[in-house]
Amino acid sequence: MSKKEYKPLTIPRLSWHKESLTEKYGELVAQPLEPGFGITLGNALRRVLLGAVEGSAVTSVIIKGINNEFSSIPGVVEDAMQLILNIKEIVIRNKEGKPGKMHLKVAGEAAARVADIKADEHLELVNPDHVLAYVAQGSELDIEFFVESGRGYQPAQWPIGKALQEDNRVYLDAMFSPIKKVMFDVEKTRVGKEIDYDKLMLKIYTDGSENPVDAMHYAVSVLRTQLEHFLISAEIPFNEISALPQEPAQKDPVELDQLGLKGIPVDLLLKPIDELELSVRAHNCLINADVKRILDLVNLSEEEALKIKNFGRKSLNEVKESMKAFGLSFGMNIKESDLKKVLKD
């Protein structure tokens, strides 16, 4: 029996708007999409981003001197209810996704801020300037925080049958999602002579605990995992029979055969590191270290790269994989003068 032939699908190109990309905002453009797929994918991605991306939040607290959320706190301007509302606005980046604890102790006349909190090593506080409460002279505010990870909204997990807890713990409802807002728009775009293909523009706002690129990666992983279980037989290999639309023909780039680097275009090395499509964290670490061009990057050794502030082994492996796709690596030691000579020739 002959194998059925399927028509290919149009594969979209994805690009992030680098100029506006931050830890809290990202704008993604996907084009061209099959007609009608802009709204289909835009809606699906928006719903998954808003409701399925994991985050961490404070789920309970022990505030010294009170045993319920309706108390007043001696020597503190805010009552327990207002303090708890302020606590809910603490933004936490959980490096391991595990539960953790934090502690705050402020004595004397002062504004108790997130920066005053001491957290477990795997918990990072994103908004240190956020004020939790104002403490009067001669008074003290002592709080123990319990942090958990989850998805979406979770109501306060009060133990059943107990009005007051033995350790005076107060339970909080929590919004785990790091996504604050997602907006998308769809326009028509051209593929050859066809003008009814879709262009999807997605804007993602986060609280800073997760950057938009990583949030999108997580959301797509969730969506794909769920959809895979709807397959009732072998998946139709559309990725194999489809391809990116052809771009306009360009002149062949000058390559580095003369330097023993066959197949690597000279102009690629002189382009900014944005071409490597790195994560926001790795990209910003390199830019802050004045590594702005691909040439600057390939001339670093792995040891030199690891000395860059906040650039760890995970970022190193990510950059190595990105460079490998272009035939590049660390420690290439290419002189810019040699590149200019090749271009001149």
Q: What does the domain layout of the chain look like in residue ranges?
A: 13-52+179-241, 54-175, 255-344
Task: Report the 10 Å Cβ neighbour count for 15.
Answer: 12
Tokens of 91: 């933004």
Q: Are 273 and 297 in contact (CB under 8 A)?
A: yes
d(CA 197, CA 188): 6
Three-state SS string across the chain, please?
A: CCCCCCCCCECCEEEECHHHCCCCEEEEEEEEECCCHHHHHHHHHHHHHHHHCEEEEEEEEEECCCCCCCCCCCCECCCHHHHHHHHCCCCEEECCCCCEEEEEEEECCEEEEHHHCEECCCEEECCCCCEEEEECCCCEEEEEEEEEEEECEECCCCCCCCCCCCCCEEECCEECCCEEEEEEEEEEEEECCEEEEEEEEEEEEECCCCCHHHHHHHHHHHHHHHHHCCCCCCCCCHHHHCECCCCCCCCCCCEEHHHCEEEEEHHHHCCEHHHHCCCHHHHHHHHHCCCCEHHHHHCCCHHHHHCCCCCCHHHHHHHHHHHHCCCCCCCCCCCHHHHHHHHHC
What local confidence, expressed as pLDDT, does residue 331 receive?
84
Phi/psi of residue 332, each to 5°?
A: -80, -25
Buried b (16+ CB within 10 A) or exposed e, 240-274: eeeeeeeeeeeeeeebbeebebeebbbebbeeebb
pLDDT digits (tens, 9 = 90+) for 103-161: 999 999 999 999 999 999 999 999 999 999 999 999 999 999 999 999 999 999 998 88
Residue whose structure tokens are 């919004």: 175
What local confidence, expressed as pLDDT, does residue 182 receive?
97
pLDDT band (50, 70, 90) for residue 237: confident
pLDDT band (50, 70, 90) for residue 343: low
What local confidence, expressed as pLDDT, does residue 110 receive?
94
Q: Is the pLDDT of residue 339 over 60?
A: yes
* Amino acid residing at 193: K
Q: Is the pLDDT of residue 2 over 50?
A: yes
Q: Are 134 and 78 in contact (CB under 8 A)?
A: yes
pLDDT digits (tens, 9 = 90+) for 187-221: 998 887 788 899 999 999 999 999 999 999 999 99
Query: Going by C-beta distance under 8 Å and a sequence separation of 6 or more, which residues neighbour residue 336?
Result: 295
CATH for the 255-344 domain, from 3.10.310.30, 1.10.150.20, 3.40.190.10, 3.40.50.10480: 1.10.150.20
What local confidence, expressed as pLDDT, does residue 172 receive?
95
pLDDT band (50, 70, 90) for residue 279: confident
Task: Please give the CATH architecture assigned to the domain spanning 13-52+179-241.
Answer: 2-Layer Sandwich (3.30)
Query: Which of 206-220, 272-286, 305-319 reaches the highest mean pLDDT?
Result: 206-220
Of 20-29, 201-210, 256-265, 294-303, the one with minimum mean pLDDT is 256-265
Percent of the chain with pLDDT over 70: 92
**Does domain 54-175 match CATH 2.170.120.12?**
yes
Stretch 166-170: mean pLDDT, rounded? 91
Angle at 276 between CA 275 and CA 279, to 5 degrees: 115
What local confidence, expressed as pLDDT, does residue 250 receive?
47
| Dihedral angle sign, alpha carbons of residues 254, 257, 258, 260 | positive
pLDDT band (50, 70, 90) for residue 1: very low
Stretch 12-38: mean pLDDT, rounded? 92
Q: Do 13-52+179-241 and 255-344 agree at the fold level?
A: no
Of 70-84, 173-187, 271-285, 324-338, the one with minimum mean pLDDT is 324-338
Q: Is the pLDDT of residue 51 over 50?
A: yes
Q: Round to the nearest angstrom and report the end-to-end CA distance of the chain.
A: 58
> What's the whole-model pTM score?
0.69
Q: Are 145 and 170 in contact (CB under 8 A)?
A: no
What local confidence, expressed as pLDDT, does residue 233 receive?
86
What local confidence, expressed as pLDDT, does residue 176 receive?
96
Q: Is the pLDDT of residue 168 over 80?
A: yes
pLDDT band (50, 70, 90) for residue 251: very low
Computed over every residue of the chain, the mean pLDDT equals: 87
Q: Is the pLDDT of residue 229 over 60?
A: yes
Q: Are 32 and 245 in contact (CB under 8 A)?
A: yes
* Amino acid residing at 328: L
Buried b (16+ CB within 10 A) or exposed e, 277-315: ebbbbbbbbbeebebebbbbbbbbeeeebeebeebeeeb
Which of 334, 187, 161 has the alpha carbon at shortest distance from 261?
A: 334
